[in-house]
Amino acid sequence: MAITVPILPCRNVNEIVSFYESLGFAKIYFQVRPNPYVIVRLGDIELHFFGLDDFEPEKSLGSCIVQVDDVDALYQSFVNGLRAVRGKVPSAGIPRLTRPRKKQNAVYGFSVIDPGGNWIRIASAPSKKTGKTKETSAASSKLARALDAAAALGDSKGDQASAANLLDDVLARNESAPVCERIPALVYRAELALAMNDAATATRKLVELRSLPLSAADRTALAAELERVSALEEDVRQ
């Protein structure tokens, strides 16, 4: 058995410890001299960091992949921790947390961008039965494809403005699309608005979401998205 442990850069090991503790990690090693170094652990996930005084997190290329059995459970655990400690889940800048999304032909997961600018990419582990990872199928509608593209811009590249413009254009041209397609796009558009500190637009999108007629089947199929709407409404009120 072999274990690989990443050693990632940061500017301040104290910031790293504070952030990861809010996610539920425990500090298991800490030193500032002769060289800043810290280890944090959550279950089987162990991350090592070294400090550099002149390091710029915005220019970091640090990244690693963490495969877990239950992506959604870990994400919710991180969300709960961030809300309890910091009052909200940061969705823009550094640090921030992206949300698990159904991206076409991609391994299911989300990313943690920590205070060092490192991308901790949480991904679905291969099934013990099949050896395959949980993947999502290709997006089939214009709105679904647009949402994929917007998430790539907003989450992966941090370009919320371009992602918002893309969604605004596609939503305007597909007003008659089924609610099951419009709701995920509108939810992400509200997220983008909040990330850009545009509470007015976020509020309008959330009001629009609440006004859409939903059948019982729609509510079941879109349960996760509707829970996200409630969380966004809470963020707007803060």
Q: Give the per-residue pLDDT at 157.
A: 77
Give the pLDDT band (50/70/90) at residue 135: very low
pLDDT per residue as tens digits for the range 58-86: 888 899 999 999 999 999 999 999 999 98
Q: Is the pLDDT of residue 238 over 60?
A: yes
Q: Is the pLDDT of residue 102 over 80?
A: no
Q: Give the per-residue pLDDT at 103.
A: 56
Q: Is the pLDDT of residue 237 over 90?
A: no
Q: What are the angstrom distances between the C-alpha of 174 and each of 64, 141, 157, 182, 209?
A: 38, 10, 25, 8, 15
Kindly indicate whether the domain formed by 142-237 is annotated with CATH number 1.25.40.
yes
Average pLDDT over residues 170-198: 88
* pLDDT above 90 as % of the chain: 42
Upper half-sphere CA count for residue 235 (Cβ side, 13 Å): 28
Average pLDDT, the chain: 86
Q: Do residues 113 and 94 make contact, with C-beta atoms less than 8 angstroms apart?
A: yes
CA distance 39 to 48: 5
Domain ranges of the chain: 7-124, 142-237
Residue 109: which residues within 8 A CB-CB, separation 6 or more? 71, 100, 121, 122, 123, 124
Average pLDDT over residues 91-97: 86
Residue 186: which residues within 8 A CB-CB, separation 6 or more? 171, 205, 208, 209
Q: Is the pLDDT of residue 170 over 50?
A: yes
pLDDT per residue as tens digits for the range 5-37: 889 999 999 999 999 999 999 999 999 989 999
Q: Give the per-residue pLDDT at 24.
A: 96
Q: Is the pLDDT of residue 133 over 60?
A: no
Q: Which of 14-28, 104-118, 170-184, 200-214 has the lowest mean pLDDT?
A: 104-118
Q: Give the per-residue pLDDT at 137.
A: 45
CA distance 178 to 137: 19
Give the pLDDT band (50/70/90) at residue 138: very low
Q: Which of 62-76, 96-110, 198-212, 221-235 has the lowest mean pLDDT?
A: 96-110
Q: In terms of CATH, what superfamily is 7-124?
A: 2,3-Dihydroxybiphenyl 1,2-Dioxygenase, domain 1 (3.10.180.10)
Selected residue with higher pLDDT from 140 and 166:
166
Q: Give the per-residue pLDDT at 145.
A: 87
Average pLDDT over residues 218-236: 84
Selected residue with higher pLDDT from 146 and 128:
146
